[in-house]
Structure 1
Amino acid sequence: MRRPPVAVALALPLLGAASDPLAGRIAGPAENCITVSRTNGPSIVDAHTILYTEGAGRRVWKTGPIGACPSLEPLSTMVVEIYGGQLCRNDRFRVVTPGLSIPSAYCRFSAFTPYTRATTR
């Protein structure tokens, strides 16, 4: 009897939901700055998406690079320059590819869009 295909078919929808960190969240108006002391991150999702999580995950801030940012990909390390406790649009960061020690050229953050969990009634 072949039961593994049934188990795999049940697991595939779960994998799809887990791959979108913003699923079930509602976007708010973009802001120019976020307070870094209240966030965890950065988490690189792909070449265009960087996430910072606030608190216990109640709010997620989505940003990305302005233009292209070579080497920005999951598992890379971001070196972020923070001045005054806030991270703002146009602030600079660099990316270090795993296995290398030389960072990329400077990249700049775009605006920060808050995503909050949708409330159910």
Structure 2
Amino acid sequence: MRAPVLAAVALMLVAGKSDPLAGRVAGAPVRCINLQQLNGPEIVDSQTILYRQSGKRIWKTGPVGECVSLRPFDTLIVDVYGGQLCRNDRFRTVSNGMSIPSGSCRFRDFTPYDKVK
């Protein structure tokens, strides 16, 4: 009885979730982004990670190749060197309730998405 109820709630949550990039236009991808004014990361799915910048810009990235451990609601552990996050920097994930991180994955380029005026 519990499983069908949980599945129904999960479907309602997914269906009600809007596209965070809706109403935004993609710019040219860059190799690195500054971390000073960013909020995030937010794992959207197995290929999408978002960083929000001051409410006006969202940076979209993801893993180079496949990263099987990348799932929404997991925690991203990022290896940061200096004040920037760059393509090929490594990250790992930790699932809720777990203490051992996944294997390393690497970031691809970062694409800015700005609101359409």
- TM-score, normalising length: structure 1: 0.82
Q: Does 1:112 align with 2:115?
A: no
- TM-score, normalising length: structure 2: 0.85
- Aligned-pair distance for 1:97? 1.1
Instruction: Please name the residue that 1:36 is paired with.
Output: 35
- Structure 1 runs (4+) greater than 2 angstroms displaced: none
Gap runs ≥5 in structure 1: 1-11
The alignment yields a C-alpha RMSD, in angstroms, of: 1.4
**Which has the larger Rg?**
1
SS at match of 2:36: helix
Distance in 2 (CA, whole Å) between partners of 1:81 and 1:102 is 16
SS at match of 1:37: coil
Gap runs ≥5 in structure 2: 1-11
Instruction: Please name the residue that 2:79 is paired with.
Output: 81
Distance in 2 (CA, whole Å) between partners of 1:38 and 1:29 is 19
The percent of aligned pairs where both chains have the same amino acid is 59
Matched ranges for 1:13-92 at <5 A: 18-55=17-54, 57-92=55-90
